[in-house]
Structure 1
Amino acid sequence: MSFNGLTNEDFDVFTLNGLEERMEQIKQTIRPKLEFLGDTFAPALSSLTGIEMFHHVARHARRTINPPNDTWVAFASSKRGYKMLPHFQIGLWETHLFVWFAVIYEAPSKEEFGKKLENNISKILDSIPNHYMWSGDHMKPDAIRMSEMTHDDLLSLFRRLQTVKKAEILCGIQIPREQAVRLDGSELVDTINSAFVNLVPLYKLS
């Protein structure tokens, strides 16, 4: 497919009521674009990380009542799945596009990774750009800007990952929909690629 970027219609899918209607529109309008991004960035991330990466487009298969509030494509070093591994994501909420590096609650290596983050906190403070965002919950759209995080805020996030069973950590960019829809396909690909370049050092720590 030719990829022309995202449209307001893509983001408006999340305003549709009812599981079936929303899922149908996700399948028709957003999923082909996520598949394109998956095919584009699996080899790019393989090259950046030095590890073969596979893409996984969200199917939302377990949903029976509540329609999804976001959708995504994830990238990990396993063909079978990504949730138990450190991974990357590209996806949409109604309000914004996100590009994340993520370690979520299913990952068994969380505690060990939290210690590595803590031990490398000075390097992380120096290397993650100020406009990047941090989140402790992939199920919620809100996140905190790097420029608003103190050393102690980051330390708290990293230590929580080591001690709290449901803790998660995500770092990356959020692009408001008004801005995202103004980017053409190649601009969007370039923006995502540059985010991944900045996030790969976190992946390598994991």
Structure 2
Amino acid sequence: MEFTGFTNEDFEVFHIDGLEDRMEALIHTIRPKLEYLGNHFSPTLANLTGNEMYAHVAKHARRTINPPKDTWVAFASNNRGYKMLPHFQIGLWETHVFIWFAVIYEAPNKDDYGKTLEAKIDELYKSTPGEFVWSTDHTKPEAKVHRDLSKDELKDMFERLQKVKKAEILCGFHIPREEAISMKPAEFLNKVEVVFKELLPLYKLA
């Protein structure tokens, strides 16, 4: 299979009612694309990070009632799981594609990482591209655009990561639905690679 890009049908999956029906559509439309992206970017990320990187496509296996509102492929240096490690993600909500570097609440050393980020705040505030976005909760689609954040607001996120058990930090890029649909496959793959390269310093700090 080759990557054909994302279509309106992919995003419409999240409007299908019922867990079984939505999962069936997701498995047939989006999952093959995520599997392709996983195979495509694992070697790229291994090359960038210096670690073997394994792709984990979301299975949503624990769900019994609520259908998934987003789906993704994650990349981490452990072939058994990614949630406890700093990782990269590519995925979809109904409104956009996300490309993330993430440290989520399962990561055991996230408080140490928060301290590292806080110590590097001046550098990170200056070097993060203005159009990039930050989030403190991977279960919500909203994110804050870097150019709209004050240094103190960013510092608050880093401090929260150290103190709050459920706190998370994600940084990356959103591609709005209409734009993602209009992108040629090669253009999309290139954009993801550019974003991953920009996110590499955050991974290295972790």
- Identify the TM-score tier after normalising by the shorter chain: over 0.9
1:39 corresponds in structure 2 to 39
Partner of 2:114: 114
Is 2:161 the partner of 1:161?
Answer: yes
Give the deviation of 1:184 after TM superposition: 1.2
Residue in 2 that maps onto 1:71: 71
**What residue in structure 2 maps to residue 3 of structure 1?**
3
Q: Which runs of 5 or more residues in structure 1 are unaligned? A: none
CA distance in 2, matches of 1:64, 1:4: 31
Deviation, structure 1 residue 126: 1.6
Whole-angstrom distance in 2 between the partners of 1:183 and 1:37: 15
Partner Cα distance (2:3, 2:53) in 1? 21
Q: Report SS of the residue matched to 2:56.
A: strand
Partner of 1:176: 176
User: How far is the alpha carbon of 1:2 from its aligned partner?
Assistant: 1.6
Letter paired with 2:203: Y
- Structure 2 CA distance, aligned partners of 1:55 and 1:194? 18
Residue identity opposite 2:183 in structure 1: L
Q: C-alpha deviations, 1:155-194, integer Å up to 9, x for none?
A: 0000000000000000000110000001111110000000
Instruction: Give 5+ residue unaligned stretches, structure 2.
Output: none
- 1:52-201 maps to which residues of 2 (within 5 A)? 52-201=52-201
- Structure 1 outlier segments of 4+, above 4 Å: none
Amino-acid identity (%): 60
Counterpart amino acid of residue 127 in structure 1: S
Name the counterpart of 1:21: 21
- C-alpha distance in structure 1 between counterparts of 2:120 and 2:156, whole Å: 14
Q: How far 1:5 sits from its partner (Å)?
A: 0.5
TM-score scaled by length of structure 2: 0.99
CA deviation profile, 1:69-99 (whole Å, cap 9, x unmatched):
0000000000000000000000000000000
The DSSP-based 3-state class of the residue aligned with 1:134 is strand
DSSP 3-state at the match of 1:175: strand
- For the residue of structure 2 that corresponds to 1:14, the secondary structure is helix
Normalising by structure 1, report the TM-score: 0.99
Q: Which amino acid aligns with 1:43?
A: P
The alpha-carbon deviation at position 3 of structure 1 amounts to: 1.1
